[in-house]
Amino acid sequence: MKIKSWLLFAIITTLFWGVWGAFIEIPEKAGFPATLGYSVWALTMIPCALVALKIINWELQYDKRSILLGSAVGFLGAGGQLILFQALRWGPAYLVFPIISLYPVVTIIMGVGLLKEKANPRSWFGIALALVAIVLLSYQPPDSSGRGVIWLFLAFFVFLFWGIQAYVMKFSQETMKAESVFFYMMATGVVLIPIALLMTDFSQEINWGFRGPYLAAMIQVLNAIGALMFVYAVRYGKTIIVVPMTALAPVITIILSLIIYSVVPHPITLGGMVSAVVAIYLMAE
């Protein structure tokens, strides 16, 4: 049976983001801050954007609507990432991640209400199961870190930003090519690099060797390619299915971590993995 294009792109996205998640901590643990990792990621988006433009013979759409919508997609995604950095500085990860992980709920509500997307009963059950799996997969051991309540508002903003992003991405492609959307995602990501640099504590020792920016670039390009595939998946598929499915990338991350680092997942996380596998099967109609 010929695999549907949206499903193929969604699977590639999930695989690339899952592998990226398994290795992204290596540069950070080696002394290369996550904020600088963001900067490297934004730069790795450039070659991917050039490849995308080559596909459409360099015919970038630059009318006001395209620039506005494309930039909105980029700012919602990249801006949410920068806000997440601050939320994790001020708040406990075991609460921040579960809140943010539910962003597909926003996409689903907007997909059904504004895009008029529909799904059969089997897919809806898969979507519901995927949301449960996403929360379980985001489980973090409780700790006593965190101060104030500002982190809660920041986490909520990321939740909204990432949930709205897929809707805007789908809406924009009613008149825009996927490649143009990705170009503006790259451009806005690069524009936000100075903010990431301002958020970096340069008073601490930073690893500028191979395990720093160079290894980070090799890993972050997986994220960049995954982002391009995600744009295509949204282009050809339904956001109410594509977004929950690609949000299950941590399953790949956990499996690789088990193989490479011998890290045995928590029973709650294992439950999330089982739920995720079943959810993907049900959603891949």
- Please, how many CA atoms are within 13 Å of residue 224, restricted to the half-sphere of its CB? 27
- Proportion of the chain in helix, strand, coil states, percent, rounded to 5: 75, 0, 25
Those residues with Cβ within 8 angstroms of residue 272's Cβ, 6 or more apart along the chain or in another chain = 132, 133, 134, 135, 136, 137, 139, 250, 251
Main-chain phi, psi angles of 223, to 5 degrees: -65, -40
- What six digits make up the tokens of 52? 């995308």
Look up residue 50 and give its DSSP letter. H
Instruction: Please answer whether residues 240 and 111 qualify as being in contact, where contact means their C-beta atoms are separated by less than 8 angstroms.
Output: yes
Instruction: Please answer whether residues 229 and 12 qualify as being in contact, where contact means their C-beta atoms are separated by less than 8 angstroms.
Output: yes
pLDDT for the residue numbered 1: 39
Nearest-angstrom CA–CA distance, 80 and 243: 16
- What six digits make up the tokens of 170? 């789908």
Query: How many domains does the structure of the chain reveal?
Result: 1
Instruction: Please answer whether residues 224 and 24 qualify as being in contact, where contact means their C-beta atoms are separated by less than 8 angstroms.
Output: no
Those residues with Cβ within 8 angstroms of residue 70's Cβ, 6 or more apart along the chain or in another chain = 172, 176, 180, 181, 183, 184, 185, 187
pLDDT for the residue numbered 147: 63
Give the pLDDT means over successive 10-residue stretches in the chain (285 positions): 80 96 93 96 97 96 96 96 91 85 94 92 92 89 70 93 96 95 98 96 94 96 97 95 94 90 85 90 81
Closest CA to 266 of 136, 176, 146: 136
pLDDT for the residue numbered 13: 97
Those residues with Cβ within 8 angstroms of residue 26's Cβ, 6 or more apart along the chain or in another chain = 211, 215, 219
Range of the domain at 257: 5-283
Tokens 């490479």 belong to 260
